[in-house]
Structure 1
Amino acid sequence: MALLAAFVGTPVAAAADDPDLTSFYQQKLSWERCGQDLQSGARSDGAGQPPGFRKRLECARLEVPRDYGNPGRSTMQVQLIRLKATGPGKRLGSLVLNPGGPGASGVNYLIDSGNSFANLGRRYDIVSFDPRGTGHTEPVSCGSKLAPPPGSGADDSLAAKEKRINEACGRYSGGLLRWVGTQDVARDMDVLRAAVRDDKLNYLGFSYGTKLGAVYAHEFPRKVGRMVLDSVEDPTKNAWQTALSQVRGFQRALDDFAADCTRQADCPLGTDEGKAQDQLRHWYQQLSEQPMKVKGETVDETSYVYALREALYSRSDWPALRQALEQLRHGDGAGILRLSDAGGGSAAHSDSVPARRIGQDELPPQDQLALRAISCRDTSERYGADDYPRAERELTKASPLFGPDIAPTLLDCYNWPAAGDDASRDVAAPDAPPLLLVATTNDPATPYQGAFNMARELRNSSIVLTYRGEGHAAYTTGDPCVQRHVDDFLLSGTLPKSHTSCS
């Protein structure tokens, strides 16, 4: 037992009065074939995956303290999933994935996208998990339906509705909300590292997963192995600044799409780039004034903007957006509806960007509730009704299309029933080895400069690899240059030289 403890390590050098976490760090995982209840939540029906792929998936539960300051009081079970290394070559341990969000299910992500990591999966067990508050790990719940505003003269404003949602979350999940922050999940990842018998954590995180990886490096610098952060969050920006940065990022991406479209023979926006922007705004106004019905569903200005956003996450979706806009030009909103419902298939699309707005008596879906809970735990900012007019004004000025859609996210923590703090923005890790950061020049959700700000804040000589392209999550675009550099680092420890770029 003493030898085992020495191998798996402990979280940090323990002080005499630190709580005893030994039993958590020495637990043995019971891996078994994943049940249908877990696999049913994924989007994939097996298409695009190799034969027998789902049969290779194994699942287990990891026991962690709900409160690391008082580990004996109560625990929770973190849902894990893995694909065992296939060979050939010497096994390198486990590679832990996080797809982002916050709020995205790592279990669903590995089921849907595990084959994207086939090269790495020859020598690593590919492992992912549902962070606390998400998926199958004590998901945040706010009830099944939102109670109507009290009284006939009740406030039905957007701010009032956000307040009602948050009050419902307090009623149904009040005992959980204090314990879903990024720092808690980072500590869970260190218990996971020990449970898979790795001396150091090897990790690939996308989007919000880059924040999680950086916080882990800050908390456990001497336990960092080979760590890649792709589509990097900017730790120097607060929630307001992040929202404004994303609005500008999506507008730049739409500008790039429009410019590209006008050069295509089948562009529904015509051949004049200036008029193309006018047309995009015209459809927004038209759908605002007169929504369409498609198979019983409403296509309005919100679903239109959501469709635009989804297509801008990957350049490979631009042809589908051109086709959807061509249909819209002929009075058919079916393509817009398909795109607006298409989110979540690849590395997470959340990162504070909202899902479509919902009715007065509806609650957001679970992943959006988890996003809200984790984000509110990770910040002390609490914007309310008095702040919203300025937020909407500033963001709409930055983009008439995306500003009104993203501004409501600043109300997510209005009257949130649990306290938050800004501790997770501290990512300094001077004692950790260098990380590989991957940044896309035209990433709409996590703009390019954020990776350089993260590298500076880490203070450990981390390297930024530039991908000169469009979209979010460079590794999963299939770009051979990006994949070669990431794989070289994860498989052999070879970092690219500073200022390396792929195009």
Structure 2
Amino acid sequence: MATALLLAGCSNGDSSGEPDTDPSAKGTHAGADAPPLKPLPAKIPDDLRPFYEQKLSWHSCGPAEFECATLRVPLDYDKPGDDLKDAAETVGLAVTRTKPQNGKGKPEGGSLHVNPGGPGGSAIEYVQQSAALAYPPQVREHYSLVGMDPRGVGRSEPVACLSDKQMDAYTRVDQTPDDAKETDALTAAYGRFAEGCEKRTGKLLGHVSTTEAARDMDVLRAALGDKKLNYVGASYGTYLGATYAGLFPQRSGRLVLDGAMDPSLSARRVNREQTAGFETAFKAFARDCVAMSDCPLGTDGVKEAGKNLSALLARVDRKPLKTDDPSRTLTESLATTGVIRAMYDEGSWPGLREALTAAKKGDGAPLLALSDDYYERGPDGSYSNIMYANPAVNCIDLPPAFSGAAEARKSVPSFEKASPVFGRGFAWAALNCAEWPVEPTGEPHRIAAKGADPIVVVGTTRDPATPYRWAQGLAGQLTPARLLTYKGDGHTAYLRGSDCVDSAVNAYLVQGKAPKDGTTCG
């Protein structure tokens, strides 16, 4: 379920799920009473100096222009120890960076840290496979691009929970239970998942919070020899970047937070508001689809398109569809995930239309392919660790949305109000942290980052995964925030086709010229 990658309905104002697109309407939200995140002391504690003063050993890796190293950080910052070689009390974090160009040594701007979100997305894979190609030349010349997989993610002692076959079974579990038997099956699946994470991951599972990951970034900043941290974070990466700014405002440089999250919201509210975000994105897709004579959801308008999609998913729930793989059928949960995957990027809409057309004819293969892409399931049946790291971080960062199935069931109407199409499934998906084996260490909080350099917060008005109102909420908290709005579709805005957004962000990163607060790009 897409709710695994963040988890969203009613905020202040309109309860229909449509976002408030007034760039000036920032700062008024239900999380206003959340306590502030307190900065850490500017002075580095003596017991952390061995970590801050470590020298990284770099070696060539991946594409030719990259080099890699391992950073050691404390497993527990409250009990850091002093032996960097103690594998039981430290965590090894994988780092990559672009090599200095033309033998010029350190670039003028130093390092630019990049995180693609998730939580659970690999920064190393993103930097080596995407950022180094997508980032414009002026940015790549000004900085050394740096990616570090956060603790528990990718190559940094990854969280593990299930075997590949077990994960296949887990993704098929019905997330819209119709009766007590199906409800028990869903809650049991969540319980087995949590038990698997505890068994396969060990004590690291209690130390994968965003606060700890932000502290790790400061250790890396020091190890790279940078006085301040420059950073571009997308989606969950905005939460990580904002947390860094809140903890270390004096060491925060040029920060771009694209597809922003609001740290002041509870887990239930985050889940419900993301539900509304996906409804907004679906309506945009449906408006585009129903204008075409061959739209698989009909041509009678957006509301009817939603009803037709719900009817199709209900038929799949009763009778899963055949696919190219005789051992795998398309269940309702997998079909829904496939649809949700296409909501992240309007470029996926044509493929979704084809997949829905095929599903109506009894062929579930195209929707299954979209679902596999979302889950990062490879052709050989193997999964990346993103779907394990994701709940591990989310479940420790905030108290669970629901304490049990009864609360989840009671919330279904409010989620369905946020999204008639996705609400029921999203409500039950928000139950996944109820049986988590470690207690949460975080809570909703506001981040001011007073004293930090200007921070550019980017929000897309019809973003499904991080609703625009979250960008408004974060920008309203951050004292040095400049809100940059993109009126459009898809998840995040930088490097996704808007010259206006790209020019504003590039000017800030390279020249330090932050856009005027409230700047809007059409």
Alpha-carbon distance between aligned partners in 2 of 1:165 and 1:278, rounded to the nearest angstrom: 32
Opposite residue 315 of structure 1, the aligned amino acid is E
Counterpart of 2:19? none
2:95 is aligned, of 75, 80, 86, to: 80
Q: Deviations over 1:27-60 (max 9, x none)?
A: 12122122xxxx6xxxxxxxxxxxxxx2222211
Alpha-carbon distance between aligned partners in 1 of 2:415 and 2:182, rounded to the nearest angstrom: 28
Deviates most, 363-372 or 177-186: 363-372
Q: Is the 8 A contact 2:481 2:517 kept in 1?
A: no
Alpha-carbon distance between aligned partners in 2 of 1:311 and 1:363, rounded to the nearest angstrom: 22
SS state at 2:233 partner: strand
Q: Is the 8 A contact 1:26 1:195 kept in 2?
A: yes
SS state at 2:329 partner: strand
The within-5 A match list for 1:395-410 is: 395-410=415-430
1:326 positional shift: 2.6
Counterpart of 2:245? 217
Counterpart of 1:8? none
Alpha-carbon distance between aligned partners in 2 of 1:143 and 1:342, rounded to the nearest angstrom: 18
Counterpart of 2:211? 183
Opposite residue 427 of structure 1, the aligned amino acid is I
Tell me the TM-score normalised to structure 1 length: 0.84
Alpha-carbon distance between aligned partners in 2 of 1:109 and 1:26, rounded to the nearest angstrom: 27
SS state at 1:267 partner: coil
1:206 is aligned, of 213, 234, 237, to: 234
Alpha-carbon distance between aligned partners in 2 of 1:154 and 1:397, rounded to the nearest angstrom: 23
Deviates most, 464-473 or 401-410: 401-410
Opposite residue 254 of structure 2, the aligned amino acid is R
The within-5 A match list for 1:470-481 is: 470-481=489-500
Counterpart of 2:22? none
The within-5 A match list for 1:124-273 is: 124-142=143-161, 144=163, 156-273=184-301
Task: Specify whether residues 27 and 268 from structure 1 end up closer, same or farther in structure 2 by C-alpha distance, changes over 3 A only.
Answer: same
SS state at 1:283 partner: helix
**Given the alignment of the two structures, is residue 445 of structure 1 paired with residue 474 of structure 2, yes or no?**
no
Counterpart of 1:51? none
Counterpart of 2:109? 92
**Given the alignment of the two structures, is residue 421 of structure 1 paired with residue 441 of structure 2, yes or no?**
yes
**Given the alignment of the two structures, is residue 71 of structure 1 paired with residue 86 of structure 2, yes or no?**
no
In structure 1, runs of 5+ residues without a counterpart are 1-10, 40-53, 346-354, 356-361
2:310 is aligned, of 259, 281, 284, to: 281
Q: Is the 8 A contact 1:166 1:414 kept in 2?
A: no
Opposite residue 299 of structure 1, the aligned amino acid is L
Q: Is the 8 A contact 1:141 1:173 kept in 2?
A: yes
The within-5 A match list for 1:490-501 is: 490-501=509-520
Counterpart of 2:121? 104
1:366 positional shift: 2.5
Counterpart of 2:65? 56
1:278 positional shift: 2.8
RMSD: 2.7
Alpha-carbon distance between aligned partners in 2 of 1:57 and 1:33, rounded to the nearest angstrom: 6
1:499 positional shift: 1.8
Opposite residue 64 of structure 1, the aligned amino acid is V
| Higher RCO (C-alpha 8 Å, min separation 6) | 2
1:293 is aligned, of 302, 322, 329, to: 322
Counterpart of 2:8? none
Alpha-carbon distance between aligned partners in 1 of 2:183 and 2:482, rounded to the nearest angstrom: 51
**Given the alignment of the two structures, is residue 21 of structure 1 paired with residue 48 of structure 2, yes or no?**
yes
Deviates most, 285-294 or 220-229: 285-294
Q: Is the 8 A contact 2:154 2:384 kept in 1?
A: no
Alpha-carbon distance between aligned partners in 2 of 1:25 and 1:311, rounded to the nearest angstrom: 42
Alpha-carbon distance between aligned partners in 1 of 2:126 and 2:212, rounded to the nearest angstrom: 21
Tell me the TM-score normalised to structure 2 length: 0.81
1:303 positional shift: 2.0
2:482 is aligned, of 459, 463, 482, to: 463
Alpha-carbon distance between aligned partners in 2 of 1:363 and 1:170, rounded to the nearest angstrom: 20
Alpha-carbon distance between aligned partners in 2 of 1:334 and 1:236, rounded to the nearest angstrom: 40
In structure 2, runs of 5+ residues without a counterpart are 1-39, 83-88, 170-180
Q: Is the 8 A contact 2:462 2:489 kept in 1?
A: yes
Q: Is the 8 A contact 1:215 1:424 kept in 2?
A: no
SS state at 2:242 partner: helix
Q: Deviations over 1:313-358 (max 9, x none)?
A: 011111111222232333332322222222378xxxxxxxxx9xxx
Alpha-carbon distance between aligned partners in 2 of 1:84 and 1:12, rounded to the nearest angstrom: 33
SS state at 1:235 partner: coil
Alpha-carbon distance between aligned partners in 2 of 1:13 and 1:234, rounded to the nearest angstrom: 25
Alpha-carbon distance between aligned partners in 1 of 2:55 and 2:184, rounded to the nearest angstrom: 52
Alpha-carbon distance between aligned partners in 1 of 2:298 and 2:182, rounded to the nearest angstrom: 47
Q: Deviations over 1:121-180 (max 9, x none)?
A: 1211111111101111111123537699xxxx9994322331232233223333112211
Opposite residue 116 of structure 1, the aligned amino acid is A
Q: Is the 8 A contact 1:292 1:298 kept in 2?
A: yes
1:204 positional shift: 0.2
